[in-house]
Structure 1
Amino acid sequence: MPVSPAYRPDPRFFDLGEDYGDAVAAADFPEAILRVRNDRAAASVGLDALTDAEWISHFGRFEPLPGQPGPVAMRYHGHQFRTYNPDLGDGRGFLAAQLRERPQAASARGVSDRENNAGRLLDLGTKGSGQTPWSRGADGRLTLKGGMREVLAAEMLEALGVPTSRAFSLIETGEALQRGDEPSPTRSAVLVRLSHSHIRFGTFQRAAYLGRRDMIEALVEHARALYHPAVAPGDAPGFLRAVVEASARLTARWIAAGFVHGVLNTDNLNVTGESFDYGPWRFLPHYEPGFTAAYFDQTGLYAFARQPEAVFWALTQLGGALKLVADAGPLTDALNGFGAAYIRELRAAFLARLGVQSLGEAADQRLLDTTLALLRQGGEALRWEPLFFDWFGGFASSARALGGPRGKLYQGETFDAFRFALFEHAPDRPERLEHPVFARPEPEEMLIDEVEAIWTAIDDDDDWGALYGKIRRVREAGEAWALTDC
C-alpha cells in the first residue's frame, strides 16, 4: 500500500499483554461493497492515499496495516442499566490498529499543544466484524441500518463540537441478518471507527473484579501516560480527576447539542471523555427532559436530562475499581469535582452554541438559565436546534431571527429575559455569520424521521444519494459553526 509520511503506526495497547485482549480474526464476508469512506478522517492519520481496493482489503477483509500486529478483542466488564455483567468484552468488534494523528489535524480540532506535538494516539476499532470469544452466542454482525445510523450520529456530533469517535468506513458485507427488533432479514455491514481510545470504565472494572491490583496499576499507567500525561506517574486520584473533567465536558456538550446517547453503560464510556458506540441515539426535536432514545429504557434511566447523573454514577464505579490502588478519600474528592466541572462546561457549551463570548460566571449562568427557560416555554413549537441557529452570534442575528420562520415565537417575558441575557454577551468570531449556511431559513438537524427516510431510500431502492447529501450538508453546517471538541 502507498504509505503516506503522515501514517505513523503506534500499537500501544498491545504493550499491556495477553491479560487485556484476545487475538482474533475477522469474519470472511461474502461481499465487500464500499459505502462510506471518510477521507477527511483518513487524511488525519495518513491513510487517504489508499485506493478503494486497498481500503476494502484493510477495512473489509482486515489485512493488517503496516506496523500493526493484527486484531485483538478487548476484555472488559461493565454495568448494563446498573446491573453488573462479567460476561462482556468485544463481542462483535476488535481493535484493528493504533496510529498517531497528524499534528495539523490535531491543531484544527482544538487539541492541546502537548498532544499536538506528539499527535494524539487514535484507535481504529470495528463493529460487526464477526464473532470473538466474547460474542456470547450472538452472530457478531452489524446491520447496514445500524452502521448508517452510526455514520450520521458521528457526523452530526462532530459538527456540533462534541468529542466523538468518527465513522471511518462502512462496507456492506452481503449477509442477510435476522433481528428481533427490526424487519428481517436485513442487510449487513462492517463499520470502522476512528476513536481516541477504547479503554473503558469497564476495562478497569474487570481488573478489579478479578482482584488484580497489578492489572489496575498497569491500566492506570498506560492510560495516564497516553491520554492524560499531565497527571504524575502513580497518581490514581489525579488520573480519576482527569477522567472526571473530560467526562463532564463530554456530558455538557451532549446536553448543549440536544443529544441522547441512549445506553450509558460503563462499557460505553471511556477514559478520554470521547463519545462512541452509537446504537439507539436520538437528537431532541424540542426541549423534553424525559426524552429517551432506547425503546428498552422503560424507566428513563438514560433520558436526556438524566445523562449527567448517569455519567457520574458510572464514574463512581470507575472510582470503586481504583480503590485497589488508592485511598478512598482522594478518590472521593476527585469524584466530587464532577458537579462543578459539569456546570462550568455546560455554561461554556451553551455560549459556544450561541456564538458569544463569556462575560463572567453570573452573566453566563443567566444566559444558560434563560435559554433553557425559553426552550421549555416554546414546547413542541420551538425545536431545539433552530433556537441556536436563529440566535447564533447574539445581537447580530436579530433581524435574521425575528424575520425568519420562527419570528412570531420570539416574544413575551421569557423571550425578553433571554434576549437581554444574550445581548449582554459580545459575539465570538462574528465573521462566521457570513457563511452561506446562515442565509438559509432552516438549520441542519438530525431528527429521527429524516434518518428513517434516508434508510428507506437505501433499503427500497439502493439509493445512497440522500445519505451522501446529508453528510455533505452536516459538514457544511460544521464549517459554519466552526466549533471544536476542546
Structure 2
Amino acid sequence: MDEDRQQAAYRPAPAIAQIEEWIADPVAPADFPKTEIRFRNDRAAAEIGLAGLSDAQWAAHFGRFEPLEDNLPRPLALRYHGHQFRVYNPDLGDGRGFLFAQMRGRDGRLMDLGTKGSGTTPYSRAGDGRLTLKGAVREILATEMLEALGVNTSRTFSVIETGEQLWRNDEPSPTRSAVMVRLSHSHIRIGSFQRLLAHEQQAEMEQLVDYCLQHFPGPPPPDGTPAREEPAIRLMHNVVERMADLAASYMVAGFVHGVLNTDNMNITGESFDYGPWRWLERWDPDFTAAYFDHGGLYAFGRQPEAIHWNCGQFAVALRLLADSDPLVAALNRFPDLYMAAVARRWCWRLGVRPRGAEPDRALVAASEKAMRESGERPDAFFFRLRKALAAGEIPAELAEALEGYESTGCEHEYWSDDAPQSMGIDQVEEIWSAIDERDDWQPLVNKVAALRRMGAAHGPAPVPAGHAPDSREPAGEAR
C-alpha cells in the first residue's frame, strides 16, 4: 500500500447545512467525567484523513466533541419518524446521538460521523442519552464481522469510556458507560421522509430528494421505466436496488439485525444501529435476535420481507411528489433484485464463479437444504465448501448443484486455518467478561484483527450492476 493510499486528505464537507434548518436541531454533547480511548479505528480514519490525530486530539473531538476544522460548528440531532414493528411512531428523532461532522472519503463519497451515547437531545423522551460500554463493544464486533463478510455497514470509528455508572434493565447494573462514534455513508433514513409526509412538507421533501441524489447518486432506472427522469422516481429505484442487496447480504452472512424499523433503514442501503443482533448457530429461518420480538416479525427468514415492506413505506412517503404507478413499478423490482443479489453473494462466499440465474439459484437452494439437514453452522458450511472446491473435491450432498462451477481459489492463508471466524453469543460474552472483570482488552483486539484477516481473505463483495464498488481497505490491524 502506498503512502497516499494509507492516509487520505481531510476534506470537510458539511453538506447537511443545505437542509439543516428543517431536518435537525442543534444540541450540546454531554460533559463526561472522563474520556478514556478504548477503540480507535485508524483504518477507517485513514480513509477520511483523520488517522494522524494524536490520542489527545482524538479524545477532544470524539469524547468532548470539539468541532473538527471547517466542519459543523455544533452537533445536530436529526428529526425523523418511523414504523417500529409496523406501528407508526411520530415521537422519534436522535435521542442519544447526533451528527457530528461530514467529510469526503478517499473515493469522494460524502461520509458522516455520528454518535451513540453522546447525551440527551430534544428527542430523548425518558431516556438518559447514554450508551453502555458493553453495547459499544458489541457494536465493534458486529460492524467488524459484517464488514468482513461483505455487508454494506457503518463502521465503529471510536469508543471512549466516559466514567459514568448506568442502570439498565436488560443487563447487570450498574454498568460502565461509553460514547461511540460511527462512520457512515449518510444518516438519512426512510423515517426522515416519513416525517416530511406526516407534516405535508412538500418543498422540503423535494429538497431532501435532491440532496440524496446529489450526494448519494446511483445508476439511472432501467430503460422503459415509467417516469424514470423524475427525481423521486430515480431515488426510489436507487433505494430499492440498495435495500435488495442489503437484505441479500444479511441472509448470506447468516446475520439477524433484530430491529428492522423504518427509522433504522438508511437510504444508502447501509446497515447501521446494532442492538439485539445475532449470527445463526444453524440455518433456521425462524430464529429471532430480539427477545421482545414475540411474533418473530424480524426473524432471520423474514428479513427480506421486512426490508421490502420498509421500501413500501418509502414509496408511500414519496407519493407527496410522484404518482403511485411508477413508484409501485420500482417497488416491484425488489424480489428479482433480491434473488439476483443472493445468488451473486452466495457464489462469492462459496468461492465459485456465477453461472447464471437458474443454476445459481439451484445452488443456493441445495446449499440451504444441506445446512438445514446437517445442522451445520453457516460459517462452517461456507468455510468447508470453499476449501473443498478449491482442492477439487465435490461434496456428495451438493454434487449435482455444483456441477460446472469453477472455484475462485483459496490463496489467502486464512483458508488454511482449522476453523472459520465466527461470532457466537458465547464469544461475545467471553470478550466482554475479560473487559468487565479484568479490564483486559486484548481478546477484543485479537478478535478484530482476526476478523479483518478474514475480510482480506474474502476480498471485496460483488456489487449490483451500475453501482460503484466499495473502496475500503480489505485488510489492516486493529487498534
Report the TM-score, using the length of structure 1 for normalisation. Answer: 0.90
1:310 aligned residue: 306
Q: Is 2:132 the counterpart of 1:143?
A: yes
- Find the aligned partners of 2:69 and 2:230 in 1 and give their Cα distance: 33
Identical columns (%): 52
Corresponding residue number in structure 1 for 2:112: 123
- On the 8 A contact 2:283/2:378 being kept in 1, the answer is yes
Residue 394 of structure 1 and its aligned partner are, at CA, apart by: 5.9
1:11 is the counterpart of 2:14: yes
1:75 to 59, 79, 83: 79
Give the equivalent residue in structure 1 for 2:3: none
Over aligned residues, Cα RMSD in angstroms?
Answer: 1.4
Whether 2:228 is the aligned partner of 1:228: answer: no
In structure 2, what is the equivalent of residue 481 of structure 1?
458
What is the CA–CA distance in structure 1 between the aligned matches of 2:275 and 2:392, rounded to whole Å?
38
Q: Which residue of 2 aligns with 1:289?
A: 285
| SS of equivalent residue, structure 2 residue 178 | strand
Match of 2:334 in 1: 338
CA contact (8 A) 2:348 2:462 kept: no
Counterparts of 1:157 and 1:286, CA distance in 2: 18
The 5-angstrom pairing of residues 395-474 of structure 1 reads 395-398=389-392, 415=397, 418-428=398-408, 430=409, 433-474=410-451
Select the residue among 50, 58, 63 that pairs with 1:60: 63
Listed as ranges, the matches of 1:31-430 within 5 Å are 31-69=34-72, 70-103=74-107, 119-231=108-220, 234-379=230-375, 382-392=376-386, 395-398=389-392, 415=397, 418-428=398-408, 430=409
Displacement after TM superposition at 1:393 (Å): 6.0
| 1:407 corresponds to | none
Per-residue displacement from partner, 1:334-361 (whole Å, max 9, x unpaired)? Answer: 1011011000101101011101111111
> Could you tell me which residue of structure 2 aligns to residue 406 of structure 1?
none
What is the CA-CA distance between 1:225 and the residue it aligns to?
1.3
Distance 2:404 2:99 in 1: 48
SS in 2 for 1:35: strand
Q: Which amino acid aligns with 1:312?
A: H
Superposed CA offset, 1:27-75 (max 9, x none): 0000111000100000011100000110000000000101112210000
Q: What per-residue deviation string (whole Å, max 9, x for no partner) do you get for residues 58-106 of structure 1?
A: 0000001011122100000000001111010000000001111113xxx
Deviations 1:243-279 (A, max 9, x none): 0000000110110000000000000001100100011
Rounded to whole Å, the distance in 2 between the matches of 1:385 and 1:8 is 39
Whether the 8 Å CA contact 1:24–1:71 is kept in 2: the answer is yes
How big is the shift at 1:365?
1.2
Q: Could you say if the C-alpha distance between residues 250 and 394 of structure 1 is closer, same or farther in structure 2, counting changes exceeding 3 Å?
A: farther
Q: How far is 1:234 from its partner?
A: 4.2
Deviations 1:198-240 (A, max 9, x none): 0000000000000111111111111111112545774212210
TM-score, normalised on structure 2? 0.91
Counterpart CA distance in 2 for 1:179 and 1:213 is: 41
Cα distance in 2, alignment partners of residues 276 and 203 from structure 1: 15
Structure 2 counterpart of 1:405 = none
Between the aligned partners of 1:215 and 1:485, the Cα distance in structure 2 is 35
CA, structure 1 residues 123+190, in 2 after alignment: closer, same or farther (shift >3 Å)? same
Which has a greater percent of helix?
Answer: 1
Q: Across the two proteins, how many residue pairs are aligned to each other?
A: 449
Paired residue secondary structure (1:168)? strand
Secondary structure in structure 1 of the residue aligned to 2:402 = helix
CA distance in 2, matches of 1:478, 1:307: 24
Contact residue 224 and residue 233 of structure 1 kept, 8 A? no
| Contact persistence 2:8–2:106 (CA under 8 A) | no
Q: C-alpha distance in 2, partners of 1:272/1:122?
A: 11
* Distance in 2 separating the partners of 1:392 and 1:230: 33
Structure 1: tracts of 5 or more residues without a match:
104-118, 403-409
Q: Distance in 2 between matches of 1:293 and 1:77?
A: 24
In the alignment, the residues of structure 2 paired with residue 385 and residue 397 of structure 1 have an alpha-carbon distance, to the nearest angstrom, of 19
Contact kept in structure 1, 2:345 and 2:462, CA below 8 Å: no
Q: Secondary structure at the match of 1:187?
A: strand
